[in-house]
Amino acid sequence: MTLTYFLTMLISGLRLGSVYALIAVGYAMVYGILRLINFAHGDIMTLGVYFMIALMISLGLPFWATMIISVILSIAVGLIMERCAYRPLRSAAEETVLISSLAVSTILQNLMTMIWTAQRMPVKLPAWLSVANRIGPFTIKTISFVTFGVTAAALIILTIIIRKTRIGVAMRACSENRKAAMLMGININRVIMFTFAVGSALAALAGFMMSGDYGTVYPTLGFTPSLKAFCAAVIGGIGSLGGSVLGAFIIGIAEMLFAGLVPTNLTNYRDAFVFAAMIVILLFRPNGIFGKQEGGRS
Amino acid sequence: MSPLKFKDVPVLRFIAFIVIPLVILILAAGAPKSYITSLIVTIGMYSLLCASLNLVNGFSGMFSMGHAAFMCIGAYMTSFFTVAPNVLAAHCPGLPNFMIHTSLPYPIALILGGLAAAVVSLVIAFPVVRTKGHYLSVATLALIVIVGAVVDNEEQFTYGSRGLTGIPAQSTVWPVWIVLIVCLFIMYRLVHSAYGRGLKAMRDDPTAAQTLGINLVSKKLSIFAFSAFFAGVGGGLYAHYLTTISSAAFSFTRSFAIVEISIIGGMGSLSGSFLGAIFYTIVPSLLQNLENGMVLFGTRLPQLFGLANIIMAAFIIILIIFRRQGLMGNSEIILDTYFRKSTYTALFKKGEWAKIPRYFADIPVRISAWSASRKKLRMEKKAP
């Protein structure tokens, strides 16, 4: 095995990691405020891709316009979901809301099946995105650069929002202590809606990156990646955004290296490896690597 | 005199929960294999799986979602002892010789399947039980992926994703329902023993339970293993119903279905698993007509695949918004009827049969009492 091969794997791992990071941040934000694992997060991601395809085919809009509109539509779906399925359960036990999110996920997946059938659909991106660039010994598709760029930009913008703006401060206050934040006059509903909006937008972006790379989309596309992104968030310590981004890169790189380096009869264990890694990490650090004390140990 | 309640009329409960189901079962068992009999078998299997899930989710305060993994282990283990040796030798040459060549009676194979699931669950429970809340849910979900990957890839043991075939179709009405009642009896006694009371104490307040001398870790591990045992038995039944199994039969979807059944019926009640299973089996099968584009008022509706699932999921959201404890809540009325002596002695007591006409005569009184209590509740809500 050569160093070049290893580095190629590392680069694919980074690309996968940045997709996971976009999803994981959405998970971590919602979890931080609502203590909810939003299983429907992955389906919002798939839905974003379907919106993009539908807009491209039916309206023939330019690429950038379809992306913007489908992100907005995904945000709308995220907000409707929050209003109908999660807000009435604000005072319920954690598990109850979890079931609600599972049901929402079922609804979204079946809606997509109903409208676009369960067949795989090709995702046609503009030609310039799938050009393979030769840089030294490596061949890297343009979409990989775009993925890195979009992820970096999104995370930087998010950091600025959370650090500097009023709504960002309110978000941090809510995830610290929701009741106290409410008593300080913060409009909780507005904060939660904003969180869902940002999460859905990031999920839709992640969906474009993922399906653009695979070239197809199908209704259950989002499920496994989003579960892995959740693992990433758990590994990083689910309250902390920085931690979940780091966890996402760890998972992405570890997954690609595992797929590339082990003997071929073991590569099918790729998904199992990721989840087993999560269980092992939870065994030693029940709150994740950067988690706060109050986390998951019983 | 206050109106009679349903639970105070043991003869009526006997008729509703024992006689009527028994008649249905006898009719179904006598009938040739059809859609209806398969529904009844499915209800039995789901009741068992859901009740075993409730042991963990409803009575111990942990929230496991990995039931499909234990089902899968139980299903394969049971099948190894019932599939004909020549089929096993051709498809799964990696198995140890005694497994290939022994054929055991179905009940013993089921118990072995359950034990295998329980042993694996103990190994896995050590890391998993240390986490809590959502972390435990996701860790148990992870289990499904891991077990599924092993089943798919260790072809010399399981014949991979092509699936293990040639499993005898032994899960007909009687075997399934007898296994179900026996298992429910064991679970019922377990929940109502000192052990079960300790379990509920742990669920309600772990710290207080610990100060009373309850060992939380051993309780959690043991109940996890019990639950996995019955899940394994349920998986074995399921395998002998499908006759061909692969990891796809034990995916997330299966686990989610069982969790949903347990939510519908009520997590804190073993009896609720009956209601949940009946609801979850019958309603989608009725909705299926809708999906295939039925004819309504002379116009043919379009085919809408997935509509049944959407309606079920929407119903679950509505249910947990308006009745979080599920249909049954904490009531064990059905199993109390089955497993309490008082039900059977009441049949021979004077006056118990006479309660039936009184019960029906009291219906208007009960309705007015109920509406009065609702009114009172509303008034209290208005003026706190």
Within 248-277 of A, beta carbons closer than 8 Å to B belong to: 265-266, 268-269, 271-272, 275-276
Q: Write the CB contacts of A59 (distance below 8 Å, at least 6 apart in sequence).
A: A66
Cβ atoms within 10 A of the Cβ of B216, count? 16
Structure tokens at A83: 């209003």
Task: Name which of A238-242, A277-281, B73-77, B149-153 the model is least confident about.
Answer: A238-242
Q: How far apart are CA A161 and CA A192, in angstroms?
A: 15
Residue B260 and residue A286: Cβ atoms within 8 Å? no
In a domain, B120, yes or no: yes
Q: How far apart are CA B87 and CA B106, in angstroms?
A: 17
The answer to whether residues B326 and B266 touch, using CB atoms and an 8 Å cutoff, is yes
Q: For A57-86, what is the mean pLDDT? A: 89
In a domain, B21, yes or no: no
The answer to whether residues A16 and A252 touch, using CB atoms and an 8 Å cutoff, is yes
Question: Domain holding B310: CATH number?
Answer: 1.10.3470
Q: Write the CB contacts of A295 (distance below 8 Å, at least 6 apart in sequence).
A: A237, A238, A239, A286, A287, A288, B135
| A115 shares contact with chain B (CB less than 8 Å) | no
Cβ atoms within 10 A of the Cβ of A7, count? 13
Q: How far apart are CA A112 and CA A102, in angstroms?
A: 15
| A90 shares contact with chain B (CB less than 8 Å) | no
Residue B137 and residue A98: Cβ atoms within 8 Å? yes
Kindly tell me if the per-residue pLDDT of B165 is higher than 80. Answer: yes
The answer to whether residues A232 and A24 touch, using CB atoms and an 8 Å cutoff, is yes
| Nearest CA-CA distance, residue A190 and chain B, Å | 21
What's the pLDDT tens digit per position in B227-264? 999 999 999 999 999 988 888 889 888 898 899 899 88
Q: How far apart are CA B201 and CA B219, in angstroms?
A: 11
Residue B306 and residue A111: Cβ atoms within 8 Å? yes
The answer to whether residues B122 and B225 touch, using CB atoms and an 8 Å cutoff, is yes
Q: How far apart are CA B139 and CA A235, in angstroms?
A: 12
Residue A103 and residue B305: Cβ atoms within 8 Å? no
Determine the residue among B136, B138, B153, B161 to mutate to test chain A binding: the one whose Cβ has the most chain A Cβ atoms within 10 Å.
B138
Q: Sign of dihedral through CA atoms A185, A187, A192, A194?
A: negative
Count Cβ atoms within 10 A of the Cβ of residue B228 and give its class: 0-12 exposed, 13-18 middle, 19 or more buried.
Answer: buried
Measured CA to CA in angstroms, residue A262 lies from A1, B158, B242 at distances of 11, 22, 35
Q: How many domains does chain B have?
A: 1
Query: Which of B132, B134, B313 lies at the smallest CB-CB distance from A106?
Result: B313
Within 8-47 of A, beta carbons closer than 8 Å to B belong to: 31, 35, 37
A284, closest residue in chain B (CA to CA): B127
Helices and strands in chain B, H and E counts: 20, 2
A292 confidence band (pLDDT: 50, 70, 90): low
Q: How far apart are CA B273 and CA B255, in angstroms?
A: 15
Quote the domain boundaries for residue B102.
31-293+301-322
Cβ atoms within 10 A of the Cβ of B241, count? 21
Residue A92 and residue B320: Cβ atoms within 8 Å? yes
Phi, psi of B64 (to 5 degrees): -90, 145
b (16+ CB within 10 A) / e for A186-222 = bebeebbbbbbbbbbbbbbbbbbbbbbbeeebbbbbb
Residue B139 and residue A282: Cβ atoms within 8 Å? yes
| A94 shares contact with chain B (CB less than 8 Å) | yes
Count Cβ atoms within 10 A of the Cβ of residue B77 and give its class: 0-12 exposed, 13-18 middle, 19 or more buried.
Answer: buried
Kindly tell me if the per-residue pLDDT of B173 is higher than 90. Answer: no
What's the pLDDT tens digit per position in A88-101? 888 887 778 888 89
Please tell me what DSSP assigns to residue B164.
B
The answer to whether residues A229 and A274 touch, using CB atoms and an 8 Å cutoff, is no
| Nearest CA-CA distance, residue A99 and chain B, Å | 7
Q: Write the CB contacts of B118 (distance below 8 Å, at least 6 apart in sequence).
A: B225, B226, B228, B229, B232
- Contact residues, chain A, for B127 at CB < 8 Å: 279-280, 282-283
Residue A100 and residue B259: Cβ atoms within 8 Å? no
Q: For A100-121, what is the mean pLDDT? A: 87
The answer to whether residues B76 and B158 touch, using CB atoms and an 8 Å cutoff, is yes
pLDDT at B301: 61
Q: For B322-332, what is the mean pLDDT? A: 83
The answer to whether residues B48 and B179 touch, using CB atoms and an 8 Å cutoff, is yes
Phi, psi of B167 (to 5 degrees): -80, 125
Q: Write the CB contacts of B322 (distance below 8 Å, at least 6 apart in sequence).
A: none
- Contact residues, chain A, for B307 at CB < 8 Å: 110, 114
Query: Which of A99, A117, A296 lies at the smallest CB-CB distance from B320?
Result: A99
Residue B132 and residue A117: Cβ atoms within 8 Å? no
Residue A100 and residue B127: Cβ atoms within 8 Å? no
pLDDT at B8: 78
- Contact residues, chain B, for A30 at CB < 8 Å: none
Supply the mean pLDDT for chain A: 85
Task: Name which of A229-243, B21-35, B123-137 the model is least confident about.
Answer: B123-137
Residue B138 and residue A295: Cβ atoms within 8 Å? no
Q: How far apart are CA B348 and CA A199, in angstroms?
A: 65
Determine the residue among B56, B62, B134, B210 to mutate to test chain A binding: the one whose Cβ has the most chain A Cβ atoms within 10 Å.
B134
- Contact residues, chain B, for A231 at CB < 8 Å: 138, 142
A97, closest residue in chain B (CA to CA): B320
The answer to whether residues A74 and A44 touch, using CB atoms and an 8 Å cutoff, is yes
B22 confidence band (pLDDT: 50, 70, 90): confident
pLDDT at A298: 40
What's the pLDDT tens digit per position in A163-203? 899 998 998 888 888 888 889 888 989 999 999 999 999 99
Query: Which of A103, A106, A271 lies at the smallest CB-CB distance from B149?
Result: A271
Residue A278 and residue B138: Cβ atoms within 8 Å? yes
| Nearest CA-CA distance, residue B268 and chain A, Å | 13
Kindly tell me if the per-residue pLDDT of A296 is higher than 50. Answer: no
Instruction: Please state whether beta strands A138-141 and A132-135 pair in parallel, antiparallel, or not at all (unpaired).
Output: antiparallel
Query: How far does CA A93 lie from the centroid of its chain?
Result: 24
The answer to whether residues A275 and B142 touch, using CB atoms and an 8 Å cutoff, is yes
Q: Write the CB contacts of B137 (distance below 8 Å, at least 6 apart in sequence).
A: A37, A95, A98, B63, B64, B65
| Nearest CA-CA distance, residue A88 and chain B, Å | 6
- pTM score of the predicted model: 0.88
In a domain, B195, yes or no: yes
Cβ atoms within 10 A of the Cβ of A80, count? 12
| A296 shares contact with chain B (CB less than 8 Å) | yes
- Contact residues, chain A, for B146 at CB < 8 Å: 272, 275-276
Q: How far apart are CA A282 and CA B128, in angstroms?
A: 8
Q: Tokens 């959502």 label which residue?
A: B134
- Contact residues, chain B, for A255 at CB < 8 Å: none
B253, closest residue in chain A (CA to CA): A106
What's the pLDDT tens digit per position in A197-248? 999 999 999 998 888 777 888 888 888 888 888 888 888 877 778 888 998 9
Q: Write the CB contacts of A8 (distance below 8 Å, at least 6 apart in sequence).
A: A138, A139
- Which residue(s) pair with A139 in the sheet? A134
Reported residue count of chain A is 298
Helices and strands in chain A, H and E counts: 11, 4
| A230 shares contact with chain B (CB less than 8 Å) | yes
Q: How far apart are CA A208 and CA A69, in angstroms?
A: 13
